């Protein structure tokens, strides 16, 4: 619900990302030699034209409150003990009563004939009643057509007596850092408020979901602006204001909006189906770090590294393999791992698209027919720590790892499934590169430099070969006890 402000950890400091539930006034200062750099002389005409399409959204929810009456902690034998025992014994231990919780946010009309309104999911989440308040003072009850928590979007429908003023989406892809933008919303329940600023950055990942791709703006956004539109100077919606960065809860000039390019496909599906229907590739992926890129002979760290392939997914059928690095999807470059899930999710289910993957130093073209994602996140698999007692008998040490071939005793010791074959890690040296990469005893080395290994001699041979090729790191494919795979680049010590 709007008004709930989670705090996210960034690095080692705790700072607040607040779901934007309001706008405040931002003053743009500074002098420029070029008169055109001053920005528009006035936004009055634009604000007047667009204001009626922006709405305030109020929600109500009944929640069950619970109040516990507890005996205060008083010294045993104290004269207060008898007094409090007599008082509290006369009270009910618990009292429950429903309470009405209200919240405010913003939204905007995208179809005046049908009465379709867009807002944020967190503005209306859990609401029993949704009321849309218009600029002329009128109010209409709204029906929720559908919502999506992954992108924080919701679509509402009202029944207007006459067509409403609506606005159109523009392209967020053509936005440049420094372009002027204007926001209209409902800050702190004050009603329609206009603020202006510039695009501060694009493609921001704030770790709020798997499809993060926010527009950052310094247009003042505060609590109550959630779901409000971010306009370009042509009066087109290029973003939906949703989150602010603020230790205090007020605007400090760092706000985030969902790009129109992300929002339009989700909104269309919510209108048609009442839910999102995303494409599915059927892979687990990892970041391509500088060390992994070097170990694969790549010039730069880019793309998405395939760490695992679902047995029943489209990727398996298309011939995608663990260790492949997806460089392009449907002709579009993949600069970072996080770009791939977003591209796949917004692609039509059942469509066949080309992928360019790097496999053993060669680029390979693959065509894959996408399935439907049943809300299975294609994100990096969280590595699970597995601590076990160390045993250095009959072990080989390389890369700071004590190794032994998998046998029945080691299967039982590290709870390895019967299907896992390879070389088990029995101990990790303190301070080693492997320890830094969270390699743990019980992990099993399945491949080194994309070559299968079955014995400790295989591992040593591959590492020596990498040293001879002047490689600075060895790419290991590791399996945990349950058979889940991940890639780790371990530094080769001189």
Between vectors from CA 385 to CA 381 and to CA 389, what angle results, nearest 5°?
150
Full DSSP string of 40-94:
-S--HHHHHHHGGGEEEEEEEEEEEEEEE-------TT-HHHHHHHHHHHTS-SE
Dihedral (CA of 80, 86, 90, 92) sign:
positive
Q: Please, which residues bridge with residue 291 across strands? A: none
**Pairing label, strands 116-119, 153-157:** antiparallel
412 sits in which H/E element: helix 408-414
Q: Please, which residues bridge with residue 148 across strands? A: 153
SS3 of 121-167: the string is HHHHCCCCEEEEECCCCCEEECEEEEEECCCCEEEEECCCCCCCCCC
The catalytic residues are: 122, 152, 226
* Alpha-carbon span 440 to 90, nearest angstrom: 58
How many other CB atoms are found less than 10 A from the CB of residue 35?
6
């Amino acid at each position: 619900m709007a008004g709930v402000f989670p705090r996210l950890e960034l690095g080692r400091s705790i700072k607040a990302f607040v779901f934007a539930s309001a706008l405040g006034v931002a003053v743009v200062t500074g002098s420029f030699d070029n008169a055109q750099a001053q920005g528009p002389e006035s936004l009055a005409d634009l604000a007047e034209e667009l204001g009626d399409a922006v709405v305030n959204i109020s929600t109500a929810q009944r929640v069950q409150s619970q109040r516990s009456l507890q005996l205060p902690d008083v010294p045993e034998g104290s004269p207060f003990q008898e007094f409090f025992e007599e008082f509290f014994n006369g009270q009910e231990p618990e009292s429950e009563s429903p309470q009405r919780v209200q919240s405010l946010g913003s939204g905007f009309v995208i179809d005046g004939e049908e009465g379709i309104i867009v807002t944020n999911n967190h503005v209306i989440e859990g609401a029993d009643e949704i009321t849309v308040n218009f600029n002329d003072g009128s109010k209409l009850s709204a029906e929720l057509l559908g919502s999506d928590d992954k992108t924080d979007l919701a679509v509402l429908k009202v029944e207007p007596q006459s067509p409403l003023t609506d606005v159109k989406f523009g392209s967020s892809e053509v936005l440049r850092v420094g372009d002027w933008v204007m926001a209209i919303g409902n800050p702190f329940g004050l009603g329609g408020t206009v603020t202006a600023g510039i695009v501060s950055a694009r493609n921001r990942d704030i770790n709020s979901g798997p499809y993060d791709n926010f527009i950052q703006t310094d247009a003042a956004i505060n609590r109550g602006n959630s779901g409000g539109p971010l306009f370009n100077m042509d009066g087109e919606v290029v973003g939906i204001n949703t989150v602010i960065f603020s230790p205090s809860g007020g605007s400090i000039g760092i706000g985030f909006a969902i790009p129109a390019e992300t929002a339009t496909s989700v909104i269309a599906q919510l209108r048609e189906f009442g839910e999102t229907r995303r494409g599915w590739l059927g892979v687990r992926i990892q970041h391509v770090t500088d060390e992994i890129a070097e170990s694969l002979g790549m010039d730069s760290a880019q793309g998405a590294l395939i760490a695992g392939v679902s047995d029943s997914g489209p990727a398996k059928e298309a011939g995608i393999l663990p260790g492949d690095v997806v460089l392009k999807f449907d002709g579009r470059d993949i600069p970072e791992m996080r770009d791939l899930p977003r591209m796949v999710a917004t692609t039509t289910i059942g469509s066949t698209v080309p992928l360019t993957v790097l496999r053993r130093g060669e680029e390979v073209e693959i065509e894959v027919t996408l399935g439907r994602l049943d809300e299975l996140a294609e994100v990096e698999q969280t590595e699970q720590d597995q601590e076990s007692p160390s045993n250095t008998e009959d072990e080989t040490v390389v890369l700071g790892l004590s190794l032994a071939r998998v046998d029945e005793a080691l299967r039982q010791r590290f709870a390895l499934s019967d299907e896992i074959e390879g070389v088990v890690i029995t101990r990790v040296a303190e301070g080693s590169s492997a320890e830094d990469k969270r390699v743990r005893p019980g992990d099993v080395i399945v491949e080194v430099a994309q070559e299968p290994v079955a014995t400790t001699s295989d591992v040593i041979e591959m590492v020596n070969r990498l040293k001879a090729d002047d490689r600075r790191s060895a790419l290991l494919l590791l399996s945990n006890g349950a058979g889940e795979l991940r890639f780790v680049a371990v530094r080769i010590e001189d």
